[in-house]
Structure 1
């Protein structure tokens, strides 16, 4: 009889551990919006890059990033509007490793000939892929690393590739 009771007790204990849920953190509960600023572009270049991201569920999100060049003498990119979709590959709510597909409507300087006198800004559209990682604190602050590249599909110009790079900080609310 003791052996039967011991087996029943061990079975009940195993079931109770199997039903134990992962802890829910405050940043996962009813928080579906994020705002971010790319600090890498602020420090390394003359761009202001801000993003909004809407969390669909624990595995995916979509968002919009807007980049503006504050000094067109230093860089060829004038502005960019980049919508994106992300797919997360971790067991936690919309964080960890992700793959992103994006489109970018941008304006960049195009040089004609060998002289810089014949320059003008052209509008282009690029499609691309990025990879990255997102880290979220218990208070909802986010840090994100991102690296990607896209290809200009509109016309043949000197600005054929479209880079997407960033180290962003933000807040989930």
Structure 2
């Protein structure tokens, strides 16, 4: 009887231990804000979905008060390939598209008869651009993100829009489930 009781106690210990599993969740979502641009007054917010160990897709929304810059609004979906040792971190290459709109500002023409400049306001524009970016992302153990990136693209459709557009900044964010 004593042996049966010892065997029963040991087996219940093993069964109880085997059922206790540590659940580790994999964070697949990131929310980031461009703090570099925030200092200059525009706002850019980015959401990224981690697809696997070395890639992710996302979108950025940028907006600024009208009249302060050439581009007042942009929506930029992107795909990233990561080359770091950690999950979706390290050096990355990004291909992006951008729907952007804004105004071309003022254009001055010198009038020799009046001996003065004539200022004309140009039209608003909406355009689509394609481009690429390079950057690096660091992820802290507590899921905080620091990211630096920079890229360039080209507007494709509208002759009134800027030919070349830029994308990038310094982002701070958080990775979550």
When the two structures are superposed, what TM-score results if normalisation uses the length of structure 2? 0.76
Aligned equivalent of 1:34, options 8, 13, 30? 30
2:112 aligns with none
1:152 matched residue in structure 2: 155
Equivalent residues of 1:82, 1:103 under 8 A apart: yes
Alignment CA distance shift 1:144-1:137 (3 Å):
same
Deviation track 1:41-76 (CA, whole Å, cap 9, x = no partner) reads: 011x2210000000000100000000010x333211
Q: What is the CA RMSD across the aligned residues, in angstroms?
A: 1.6
The answer as to whether partners of 1:111 and 1:158 remain within 8 angstroms in 2 is: no
| Partner secondary structure for residue 136 of structure 2 | strand
- Number of paired residues? 144
Please state if 1:47 is matched with 2:47: no
Cα deviation, residue 155, structure 1: 2.0
The counterpart of 2:120, out of the listed 104, 117, 120, is: 117
- Which runs of 5 or more residues in structure 2 are unaligned? 1-23, 109-117
Note if contact 1:107-1:123 (Cα within 8 Å) is conserved in structure 2: yes
Counting only pairs closer than 5 Å after superposition, residues 16-27 of structure 1 correspond to structure 2 as: none
Deviation at 1:112, TM superposition (A): 7.2
TM-score between both structures, scaled by the size of structure 1: 0.78
Aligned counterpart for 1:135 among listed residues 135, 138, 163: 138
Q: Which runs of 5+ in 1 are unaligned?
A: 1-25
Matched, 1:100 2:94: yes
**Alpha carbons of structure 1 residues 89 and 143: separation in structure 2 relative to 1, 3 Å:** same
Contact between 2:127 and 2:161, CA under 8 Å: does it hold in 1? no
1:168 to 160, 164, 171: 171
**C-alpha distance after superposition, 1:127-151 (max 9, x if no partner):** 0000000000000000000100000
